[in-house]
Amino acid sequence: MGAEVRRVAETSLGKSVVLVDVQEGYRLWSGTYDRDPNPVLALERRVIRERLGPLSGRCVLDIATGTGFWLEFALSRGARAFGIDLSHEMLAAAAGKPGLRNHLIRGDMKLLPLKDAVADVAICSLAVGYLPSIRNLFRELARVARRVIVSDLHEIAVQAGWRRCFDVGGRRYEIQQFEHSSEELDEMAKSAGLRVDWRVAARLAEPERPFFVQAGREYAFETASQIPAVLSTCWSKS
């Protein structure tokens, strides 16, 4: 996608927000992404870590790796792992971390530059919402891996107005996103030959409260914690 940018409506705080596509968004966000407090990201990581199981000796793909969190995690657990992303800037940030440079691949998650059945596990973290259509993504995930884990903002959170926003240089940005229901996810997975192993609809909880405190928004925690924030699903080959 191109780097189209347009200004959208004023927020309730009186700040204007600039809507950007995913490539422009992560170009801008790459320098501060790992430093920005993000309770949704923390929740997603907590949920998946608890369910990944042993990774030693397995091949793990971190699809839409960004700054390489799941790549780094898998390598630290003894896996053979590679991270794939389309953003030059996010890959550059990942490459600056010890041991990751030789495990990074630039590629589109809708057309992965990988051979069939190369991985035991593919993790696609907080990325499906950037695609208007997810059919090709699921075909590719099923093609390259025996087990597929996908997580993203829960559809109820999206319907409640949750957005992917960040601040850079005193300006607030929102990355364009698309809503995909659990039914749509399952339909695309089934059409790709995958069956559900487990699914978790997770809410923010006490481990995420400090992020709200740090941002000076603890008052919003109780309301936010009532909404399913992240939907994580694991599928495997039928």
Q: What pLDDT does residue 215 have? A: 87
- Does residue 12 have a pLDDT over 50? no
Q: What pLDDT does residue 15 have? A: 66
Q: Walk me through the domains of the chain, giving residue ranges and CATH numbers.
A: 5-237 (3.40.50.150)
pLDDT digits (tens, 9 = 90+) for 135-169: 999 999 999 999 999 999 999 999 999 999 999 99
Determine if residue 208 is left, alpha or beta; phi over 0 gives left, psi from -120 to 50 gives alpha, anything else beta. Answer: alpha
Give the count of beta carbons closer than 10 Å to the beta carbon of residue 238: 10
pLDDT digits (tens, 9 = 90+) for 19-78: 999 999 999 999 999 999 899 999 999 999 999 999 999 999 999 999 999 999 999 999
What is the SS3 assignment for 118-143? Answer: CEEEEEEECCHHHCCCCHHHHHHHHH
Q: Across residues 200-208, what is the average pLDDT? A: 97
pLDDT digits (tens, 9 = 90+) for 71-115: 999 999 999 999 999 999 999 999 999 999 999 999 999 999 999
Q: Across residues 179-206, what is the average pLDDT? A: 97
What is the pLDDT confidence band of residue 16, given thresholds at 50, 70 and 90? Answer: confident
Cα separation, 238 vs 195, in Å, equals: 6
Give the count of beta carbons closer than 10 Å to the beta carbon of residue 106: 11
Cα separation, 83 vs 170, in Å, equals: 31
- Does residue 234 have a pLDDT over 50? yes
